[in-house]
Amino acid sequence: MRFRNMALIGGSLIMLVAFGATHPGAMNWQEHVLMGLAKFGVLATPVIAVLFAHLARKALFDYIDLYQVFKIAKESAVGAGLVFLGTCVVIFGLLGLFGSQVNAQPVTTYIPEQAKVYTPQLKVELSKYWADHPKATCSAASSSKSLVLA
């Protein structure tokens, strides 16, 4: 195994243990382990995306050997360089396809309890300082059970 691979894997494992062991929300060692595993899952997603992009590139361009292209590029940079650049563009597109993820929760489905406390005050301040706002999306009217966003 190459030194850079050992350094990357070892450094990643050290950081993973440090993130899991120092998480402020964990109360016992099981929660620290779960936090570490959750962080590992988040960090593994881009690696899996790169793997899928590499496999898709191999499947799409099975007739292109990038090592041969690299060897030819050292002799004549124009043709092999264009092939290499085109392959990089395809890999970028595949990474955008496989690697994009959104972890945010839509605000329309869940509004935290703390927000319900302060929305009447926010509505007053919004109307006080910016009454002519064209799209006052935060003009909230709180009812007894739920919060309605206009």
Domain count, the chain: 2
95 and 123 housed in the same domain: no
The Cα–Cα gap between 99 and 56 comes to 13
Residue 104 lies inside a defined structural domain of this protein: no
pLDDT tens digit sequence for 71-87:
777 787 787 778 778 88
42 and 85 housed in the same domain: yes
Task: Write down the residue that tokens 């690697």 correspond to.
Answer: 99
79 and 133 housed in the same domain: no
121 and 78 housed in the same domain: no
122, 140 Cβ separation under 8 angstroms: yes
Residue 95 lies inside a defined structural domain of this protein: yes
Instruction: Give residues with Cβ within 8 angstroms of 3, minimum separation 6.
Output: none
Residue 134 lies inside a defined structural domain of this protein: yes
The residues of the chain scoring below 70 in pLDDT are: 98-110, 135-150
**Predicted pLDDT of residue 55:** 85
23 and 65 housed in the same domain: yes
> How many other C-beta atoms are found inside a 10 Å radius of the C-beta of residue 91?
16
Residue 105 lies inside a defined structural domain of this protein: no
> Measured over all CA atoms, what is the biggest interatomic distance in the chain, rounded to whole angstroms?
75
65 and 118 housed in the same domain: no
Predicted structure pTM score: 0.43
Residue 106 lies inside a defined structural domain of this protein: no
Residue numbers of the domain that contains 141 = 113-149
72 and 21 housed in the same domain: yes
83 and 117 housed in the same domain: no
**Predicted pLDDT of residue 143:** 42
